[in-house]
Amino acid sequence: MLQGSLPALVTPFTNGGLDLDTLKKLVEWHIAEGSNGLVPVGTTGESPTLTHAEHETVVAEVVKAVAGRIPVVAGAGSNNTVESIRLARHAESVGADAALVVTPYYNKPTQAGLIAHFTAIHEACGLPIIIYNIPGRSVVDMMPSTMADLAKLPRIVGVKDATGDLARVCDQRMLCGPEFIQLSGEDATAHGFNAQGGVGCISVTANVAPKLLSQMQAHCLAGDYAAALAIQDKLMPLHKAIFTEPGLVGVKYAMSELGLCSPEVRLPLVPLTDNTKALVNAGLRHAGLTS
């Protein structure tokens, strides 16, 4: 079962190209720090600006480096159903454990279109599928009743919910069943998400604070929400700072401050402003990650 803290893994760059050596070091660091899984080439992995070949390379290299020690949930989303099928099949062929498939962005499909899209991917690939519902980016919101219809398919096993609506967790639990895996897609509300029935978070901040977030998730799974809240309190300023500008830019800068990777991102994203850098540095200090 997928649960706990699963970093939405960044894709490190050097001089515009993939930095695979750093990627492999990050995999080892996350495993040592207690991350419960890895999610490469999602939004935080800069999937919109990776070529298809780069996308496939990152998934293959992460799976190889992990070597079965923790689950790998490969990003396989597209607003083109045929392309999403190809990405999911590639992830399956290299040994990923599951696929993360976002609701199709820009096209604005109906709920019936969402069912058709996810059903086609399900039928074409043998991997378990996690639905990624993020209406703020995709402009389409999968309704709980639609998710319940898809949950009847044997390999539609869960959701990464980035709606920010904690009532959704209860609705989806009632309609999809308690075994349907609900993972938060929003760091700032992940503690409350778990209290409503979630079992973990696909986290951006976990790129820079994997041990703390793994511990927080472990406390939630054990039912110790007071201990989990103490960690959330330490991390809240960092969560907010990272998302002041696009989250992957913020977290790459934070990682660069810890010497983990370059802050380099691809256009149309640009480096952080100095004001946001100051907020991130203050968040790192508040979390005890820097002095």
Q: Which of 24, 29, 21, 91 is nearest to 55 (CA)?
A: 91
Whole-angstrom Cα distance, residue 123 to residue 10?
A: 29
State the pLDDT at residue 2.
97
Burial of 72 (0-12, 13-18, 19+ CB in 10 A): buried
Catalytic residue among 160, 252, 253, 277: 160
SS in 3 state form for the chain? Answer: CCCEEEEECCCCEECCEECHHHHHHHHHHHHHHCCCCEECCCCCCCHHHCCHHHHHHHHHHHHHHHCCCCCEEEECCCCCHHHHHHHHHHHHHHCCCEEEEECCCCCCCCHHHHHHHHHHHHHHCCCCEEEEECHHHHCCCCCHHHHHHHHCCCCEEEEEECCCCHHHHHHHHHHHCCCCEEEECCHHHHHHHHHCCCCEEEECHHHCCHHHHHHHHHHHHCCCHHHHHHHHHHHHHHHHHHCCCCHHHHHHHHHHHCCCCCCCCCCCCCCCCHHHHHHHHHHHHHCCCCC
Q: Is the dihedral of CA 186, 109, 157, 251 positive or negative?
A: negative
State the pLDDT at residue 145.
98
User: What mean pLDDT do residues 187-215 have?
Assistant: 98
At 248-257, the pLDDT tens digits run 999 999 999 9
pTM: 0.97
User: What mean pLDDT do residues 19-39 have?
Assistant: 98
On average, the pLDDT of the chain sits at 98
Classify 227 in phi/psi space as left (phi over 0), alpha (psi -120 to 50) or beta.
Answer: alpha
**Domains of the chain, earliest start first:** 4-222 (3.20.20.70)
Q: How many residues does the chain have?
A: 291
Catalytic residue among 132, 252, 253, 277: 132
Is the CB of residue 159 less than 8 Å from the CB of residue 200? no
pLDDT band at 241 (very low <50, low <70, confident <90, very high): very high
User: What mean pLDDT do residues 126-153 have?
Assistant: 97
At 269-290, the pLDDT tens digits run 999 999 999 999 999 999 999 9
Q: Is 225 a catalytic residue?
A: no
User: What mean pLDDT do residues 90-106 have?
Assistant: 98
User: What mean pLDDT do residues 107-130 have?
Assistant: 98
Those residues with Cβ within 8 angstroms of residue 127's Cβ, 6 or more apart along the chain or in another chain = 88, 91, 92, 96, 97, 98, 99, 155
State the pLDDT at residue 14.
97
Is a pLDDT exceeding 90 seen at residue 26?
yes
State the pLDDT at residue 130.
98
State the pLDDT at residue 139.
95
Q: Which of 51, 29, 30 is nearest to 41 (CA)?
A: 51
% of residues, the chain, pLDDT over 70 = 100
Q: Is 132 a catalytic residue?
A: yes
Whole-angstrom Cα distance, residue 261 to residue 14?
A: 9
Is a pLDDT exceeding 90 seen at residue 1?
no
